[in-house]
Amino acid sequence: MTAQTLTELEHARAVADAILYEGYLLYPYRRSSGKNRVRWQFGVLVPRPWLSPAAAADDSVAGSADAWRQQTECLLEASASATVHMRLRFLQVRHRSVESAVDGGFRPVSELTVDGRRHLTFDDAVPRDYDVVATAGELLRDPHVAEVTVPGGEEVERLGEAGRIVRTWWPLRLRVRVSARPARAPFPLLRLRCEVENTAEGPERGAPRPEALRFSLVATHSLILVRGGSFLSLLDPPEWAAAAARECHNVHTFPVLVGPRSQRDVVLSTPILMEDHPRVSPESPGDLFDATEIDEILSLRTLTLTDEEKREARATDPRAAAIIDRIEGIPPEVMDRLHGTVRSLRPADEPPTGSVVVDGVLLSQGSRVRLRPRPHGTDAHDMFLDGRIGVVEKVLTDVDGARQVAVTLADDPGADLHRWYGRFHYFSPEELRPEPDPAPDPDPDREPAP
């Protein structure tokens, strides 16, 4: 791809990299951990002969099962002169063997400590990519088909006189096919199809999965850019394209719009199902190989590891070592940013400011309301607040333009503290009932009843 194209894809790179390394190594990042003995669960394209007939025939959208192919279909508004750039990305497994020097030769060992540093035998992976560039007109006339070979290799790292590390990776073979055809719609529309197949001949069925992974594409996904056109969302297509969207058949991957919401020129086709315009939290100081987890929780857990556990994690993989080092060096102000951020709400700016009408009553800051959470599609904890009295603190508007009301509980002794922190309960206006202010006490000076 050109430097300009790479710049245009940069806003999608962080999300794509999170896909690339999702599940690469999981907390506690140690080789001895059970969850790190069965690795790489998303976007794994194995040799077809290794799969059972049922698994080979599976054409579902789920990308968490081992498969031999992926197929992306998405909708594209573009003229014949528009340029389509597809970048296929995946990991190639590499075996790292630690060998001890013995009698003038070398013997594979599980681990070796040299000059106080521990080295472990383990598998890692290196990123690979392949690019296809063509105009929409070219893809309409003749599909682009490429037989691709990613070479194998070996490299040796000496550990002084004590031993060595041998890194070995095996050749990969794959087929990439990109095509386009008109979609059935009342306006000009193309259906773009990108297919990726693992064409390696072995190993045969019954071989251990780690052996099959040597000849597999791992965490396979694609970034697709169009210059001179735009993509349509398959999750929320315009009405005129809804039927065409339903006809798109995605196998072990699914395309979503990625990048700023104002742009529709880049699609990320991923084995992990996402919504349109996903993005990595800006508070995140770095990847933890688990994009579905909460950075604060994983960081705090990592800090609780013993020195020996951290030493093993550092020896397991250089990327694990980088995680440990980064978390140990997180300054307090960065850790504070991980504690929680609300992005979906913004101050309401419709007149009257900071208010909403419910059952004919204008509610604003200080209004009393009775909470009536809807029975379905809400936070389960809100059901425990049914019938309680709340005090309106703010009226906000979410990204979809809907009103949300922030409240504290009238009988909560910690309400002032929650108000100071800005931590509220949020309800839609339909979940609230106006509540009159309590009647004033006619004799506030009287003695309380015994």
**Which pLDDT tens digit goes with each residue over 385-420?**
899 999 999 998 876 677 899 999 999 988 888 888
Q: Which has more pLDDT, 194 or 335?
A: 194
In this structure, how many other beta carbons lie within 10 angstroms of the beta carbon of residue 43?
Answer: 30
Q: DSSP readout, 63-112?
A: -SS-BSEEEEEEEEEEEEEEEEEEEEEEEEEEEEEEEEEETTEEEEESEE
Distance in angstroms (rounded) separating the CA atoms of residues 244 and 75? 8
Distance in angstroms (rounded) separating the CA atoms of residues 109 and 43? 31
Distance in angstroms (rounded) separating the CA atoms of residues 414 and 410? 10
Short-list 418, 279, 284, 298, CA closest to 338 = 284
Domain ranges of the chain: 3-333, 345-434
Which of 49-63, 155-169, 241-255, 400-414 shows the lowest per-residue confidence on average (mean pLDDT)? 400-414
Confidence at residue 446, expressed as pLDDT on a 0 to 100 scale? 58
Confidence at residue 87, expressed as pLDDT on a 0 to 100 scale? 95
State the average pLDDT over residues 271-284. 84
pTM of the entire predicted model: 0.73
Using CA atoms of 56, 59, 61, 64 in order, give the dihedral in degrees to the nearest 10: -10
Confidence at residue 447, expressed as pLDDT on a 0 to 100 scale? 59
For the cut 70, the answer to whether the pLDDT of residue 35 exceeds it is yes
Confidence at residue 405, expressed as pLDDT on a 0 to 100 scale? 93
Residue 295 — very low, low, confident or very high, per pLDDT cuts 50/70/90? confident
Confidence at residue 348, expressed as pLDDT on a 0 to 100 scale? 43
Distance in angstroms (rounded) separating the CA atoms of residues 229 and 248? 19
Runs of H (alpha helix) within 259-414 = 295-303, 307-316, 318-328, 332-337
For the cut 80, the answer to whether the pLDDT of residue 379 exceeds it is no
Short-list 154, 166, 153, 155, CA closest to 101 = 166
The residues facing 164 across adjacent strands are 99, 158
Question: Which amino acid is located at 415 in the chain?
Answer: A
Short-list 281, 405, 272, CA closest to 347 = 405
For the cut 90, the answer to whether the pLDDT of residue 52 exceeds it is yes
Q: Are 68 and 48 in contact (CB under 8 A)?
A: yes
For the cut 90, the answer to whether the pLDDT of residue 71 exceeds it is yes
Token pair recorded at residue 445 = 């000076």
Phi, then psi, of 296 in degrees rounded to 5: -60, -45
Distance in angstroms (rounded) separating the CA atoms of residues 290 and 55? 26
Question: Which amino acid is located at 262 in the chain?
Answer: S
**Which pLDDT tens digit goes with each residue over 92-122?**
999 999 999 998 899 999 999 999 999 999 9
Share of the chain above pLDDT 70, in %: 89
> For 325-442, where are the E strands, in sequence order?
345-347, 355-358, 361-364, 368-371, 389-398, 403-409, 425-427, 432-434
Confidence at residue 380, expressed as pLDDT on a 0 to 100 scale? 67
Averaged pLDDT of the chain: 88
For the cut 50, the answer to whether the pLDDT of residue 375 exceeds it is yes
Distance in angstroms (rounded) separating the CA atoms of residues 321 and 138? 47
For the cut 60, the answer to whether the pLDDT of residue 346 exceeds it is no
Confidence at residue 1, expressed as pLDDT on a 0 to 100 scale? 46
For the cut 70, the answer to whether the pLDDT of residue 25 exceeds it is yes
For the cut 60, the answer to whether the pLDDT of residue 123 exceeds it is yes
For the cut 70, the answer to whether the pLDDT of residue 353 exceeds it is no
State the average pLDDT over residues 371-377. 80
For the cut 90, the answer to whether the pLDDT of residue 12 exceeds it is no
Phi, then psi, of 305 in degrees rounded to 5: -60, 145
Phi, then psi, of 135 in degrees rounded to 5: -85, 160
Name which CATH class applies to 345-434.
mainly beta
Q: What is the CA radius of gyration of the chain?
A: 28
Phi, then psi, of 332 in degrees rounded to 5: -55, -40
Distance in angstroms (rounded) separating the CA atoms of residues 155 and 336? 43
The residue whose two tokens read 């070995």 is 168
Share of the chain above pLDDT 90, in %: 60
Token pair recorded at residue 396 = 């906000």
